[in-house]
Structure 1
């Protein structure tokens, strides 16, 4: 990783900075989140954690009063929609993956995301930083993010979840989203599928659940209605914007937009065609 000369001498500061990189996560647990909201109606979304998440995830969080990161479940290895430990960014040659190596063989496929260990040898961190530096150093937002990225990739991460939280919160800050995040591992609900979603909503006293489009395939809407939780579906159509290289690649990490159009990032995020449909 091409870190500036002085950055290597800041090892301690880098590690402290990386640990502070997720200030939006509540440190006092569920009670602090719920009590502060009193009795007003609470809109909640529940999402699997993702490394440098895409614009649709940021937009859904922005539309809610509370977002729950589903970190007590296992990574769904081998699926095309698996972005827990990877995401895509733009390069001069098109798009490329940024993948964090995890110790899946040693731990097994059933290990919860909160406990997934990173196969830490430093190479992936150098590769990710160099990919971002080479691809975005000419972008308008690179100078503002470079030092933080040096801190992020200068830290020796032992587990995946804190790294994901750091990248997610950094994006939320960049897009001016102040929705608090809560880890599902700090809650009590341990049911499955639709019942898990409903139980988590009830545990945080949600009045509305904002689901992604795939929720139509498995949510038991009658159960939500009986429990008094309204269900809405969030469909996000990716906005087009000028990228650093010719052509346009949709559905990249939201970091692409934040680096290329930092001043307009929030406005462009909101330009995405979003349809919110209430469940029948």
Structure 2
């Protein structure tokens, strides 16, 4: 999976569901994607929170994307998070983590990966995590890249998000995985209800909403695991 900013809780559960998780950090950056923006809850409504980036060519790799140099945007970014979650039970802890990472990194990928790893640690997820860029694979076609990663890791199953069906269901891709005895499974997830600020519950927000608001996120996440464990581990 690409290392997205503030990924939804299903993304985090997907990391928990596999033996090894690989960040696709060596693919082309996609503008207006989940890589640099995601949903939070602000004033009882969904709000798209984004990270400011330097302008680049359309073919720039995700691993080469840099934050905008002028730090003024970071002040506005953090103010938005403050207004959205300052009254939440875990605000101080996760706001501090977010702020530290924001001022520590210049590259979008490094920022996203560090935060995802911290969130996993806080939820007691111990899945080994790799970066595709460390595997020395260069393939432009998505299905070939995924296949090569699976081969290097000696995988017999590949857990894929539903969105990848459009290229993994092609005949050539199906034949390639089948001949290598690699089974493709598609990720399924029951979205939980959890403690949330405001009067109405909004699902599919970024994981920060869950971490800010749940009194004991690790214990609540265990309930999420229990509810979903039969879906993706067969």
Flag whether TM exceeds 0.5 (same fold).
yes
Offset of residue 248 of structure 1: 1.5
What is the Cα-based RMSD across aligned positions, in Å?
2.0
CA change 1:247–1:177 in 2 (3 A) is same
Offset of residue 234 of structure 1: 0.7
Offset of residue 54 of structure 1: 0.9
Q: Is the 8 A contact 1:209 1:231 kept in 2?
A: yes
* Equivalent position of 1:210 in the other structure: 159
Q: Pick one of 199, 206, 213 that aligns with 2:148.
A: 199
Where 1:101 maps in the other structure, the secondary structure is coil
Q: Which structure: greater helix fraction? A: 2
- Can you give the 5+ residue segments of structure 2 that lack an aligned partner in the other structure? none
Q: Pick one of 163, 166, 170 that aligns with 2:111.
A: 163
Q: Is the 8 A contact 2:161 2:187 kept in 1?
A: yes
Q: Is the 8 A contact 1:174 1:258 kept in 2?
A: no
* Equivalent position of 1:112 in the other structure: 61
- Can you give the 5+ residue segments of structure 1 that lack an aligned partner in the other structure? 1-46
Q: Pick one of 171, 176, 196 that aligns with 1:243.
A: 196
* Equivalent position of 2:176 in the other structure: 223
Q: Is the 8 A contact 1:234 1:277 kept in 2?
A: no
Q: 1:138, 1:168 → 2: CA distance?
A: 23
Q: 1:164, 1:272 → 2: CA distance?
A: 27
- Report the TM-score, using the length of structure 2 for normalisation: 0.88
- Comparing 60-69 with 222-231, greater Cα deviation is found at 222-231
Q: Which runs of structure 2 are paired with 1:1-280 in the superposition (5 Å)?
A: 47-78=1-32, 82-104=33-55, 107-153=56-102, 155=103, 157-191=105-139, 192-219=141-168, 220-263=173-216, 264-270=219-225, 275-276=231-232
Offset of residue 277 of structure 1: 8.8
- Report the TM-score, using the length of structure 1 for normalisation: 0.74
